[in-house]
Amino acid sequence: MMNTPGFSFRITARRGRARTGVLSTPHGDILTPAFMPVGTQGTVKGMTVGELEAPPLDARIILGNTYHLYLRPGLEVIAAHGGLHGFSGWPRAILTDSGGFQVFSLATLNQIDRDGVTFRSHIDGSQHRLTPERSMEIQGVLASDIAMAFDQCPPGEAGAAEHEEAMERTTRWAERCLRVRRPEGQALFGIVQGGPDAARRRRHMAEIVGLGGFDGHALGGFSVGEPLPLMYALLDELAAELPEERPRYLMGVGTPDDLRRAALAGIDLFDCVMPTRNARNGSLFTSGGTVVISHARHRSDTGPVDPECPCETCRTVSRAYMRHLFMAREILYSRLATLHNLTFYARTMSALRAEVSGIEASA
């Protein structure tokens, strides 16, 4: 059992360092390894709840963004609906990030100190204050199933001193997050920083895990500019050192190949804007490689985006039609493309689970 009542994590199969499992939450079970579609503004862009729930996509958990939902529509609106589930109509599990990455990525709009961050809204320039306690309060109003501890994510080009400072702050802020009373049934994950240095990562992992109160643990600060071979090497070395009995989450990563490499290293949960953002920008993931739908060779192609994909897009329309919609800037293109890319990610995860379990993957 995890620390929070109503949550549990059970490992069902292993293959090397990889494992499959069932993460149980108050809003349903999640089969791991799992990819979480990103719903930054309380919506996975272009998708309805029914489309996300329906096979073959069958999303069991989505991610919401604390920073963006706090600024718009505001906590009073979401509180009036009883939380993000009621506001968005999403009946399954939700994980909310702490807002830390968004605040720190907008470096020209913030001022960091020992206690927290003062920042200006990217929407209207209004000034706000975010501390570990305030982040937890916001996530409490959102009433997510899984909240994330407030952390400092340094930029990819940060030096050793900046990483050390971020680690020290993240540990101190994690302690403060653990002391905040959460809504009944809300789990809390801690975040490990440390940049591209294995020794720093391992040291910070010991600090975060040593706090003892987290229901799961995340690796943050990856895919911020470091070479892919270095990220893979760090994951191979460190992922399996996170506590065996708790879910492991790799934040903000990445391509289907990244997910496969990380899952085989022992990671259980993933999120990334790539499938939805790439879809809107004309890049589609397929079993034969990435398709750039704007290329002229697709103008008269009567075949599906991916003949091996069972999604509605691939069952009903051609590449030529998709290219037409994209070139005409029709809204329908984004919906169909997003559905396809998210289905591709979901099937990638299903195939990984089948591979680890030694069973045949479903279609």
**Active site residues per annotation:** 97, 271
Backbone region of residue 76 per phi and psi (left: phi > 0; alpha: psi in -120 to 50; beta: other values): alpha
Which of 52, 25, 26 lies closest to 37 in space, CA to CA? 52
Determine the Cα–Cα distance for residues 211 and 151; give it in Å rounded to an integer.
15
**H or E element that contains 191:** strand 187-192
Which of 269, 261, 272 lies closest to 242 in space, CA to CA? 269
Produce one character per residue of 313-350: b if its CB has 16 or more CB atoms within 10 Å, e if not.
Answer: bbeebbbebbbbbbeeeeeebbbbbbbbbbbbbbbbbb
Paired sense of beta strands 28-32 and 18-25, if any:
antiparallel
Half-sphere exposure of residue 345, counting CA atoms within 13 Å on the CB side?
A: 30
Torsion sign (Cα): 290, 291, 297, 302: positive
357 φ, ψ (degrees, to nearest 5): -80, -15
